[in-house]
Amino acid sequence: MIRLYHAPRTRSIRVLWLLEELGLPFELVSIEYQPPAKPFAQRTPSGKFPTLEDGDTVMFESGAIVEYVLERALQDRDYLPGTDFSAADIMMGYWVQWASAMGLLTNSPSLRAHDERLSSRPALQKALAAT
């Protein structure tokens, strides 16, 4: 089973959101983020957030983990930008939501609408509730 090491307000939300979207079984290990005194000092197997364990596989770096999860779970499906939700929405949605929280989207109605669509997704709401 997949185990995700997660801390609130880190890029691990990308992986958590994807796991929720796909409905994959996983164990969430929530750990409080500690400002590191040295690199790789978080209390995870890799010392970083996010960290994913899947059997003997241990990974960090949210983009690589998203690609791994997609390849593992959806080998026969393609995600392309367009009208359907895709992993690209998760990868870029993190930054759109950050920009929204910082008040940087006031002159960007299309990005604000995109943020609203992403924020209304039940899987994101479930992922955020776990943090």
Single-letter amino acid, residue 117? R
The answer to whether 60 and 46 have CB atoms below 8 angstroms apart is yes
Report pLDDT digits (tens) over 4-16: 999 988 899 999 9
- Provide the CATH number for the domain around residue 17: 3.40.30.10
Task: Say if residue 66 is exposed, middle or buried (CB neighbours under 10 Å; 0-12, 13-18, 19+).
Answer: buried
Report pLDDT digits (tens) over 99-131: 899 998 888 777 788 889 889 989 999 999 987
- Containing structural domain, residue 58: 2-129
Distance, in Å, from the CA atom of 104 to the CA atom of 54, rounded to the nearest integer, reads 37
**Tally of structural domains, the chain:** 1
Q: What is the mean pLDDT of residues 22-44?
A: 87
Of residues 88 and 52, which shows the higher confidence score? 52
Band (pLDDT 50/70/90 cuts) for residue 96 is confident
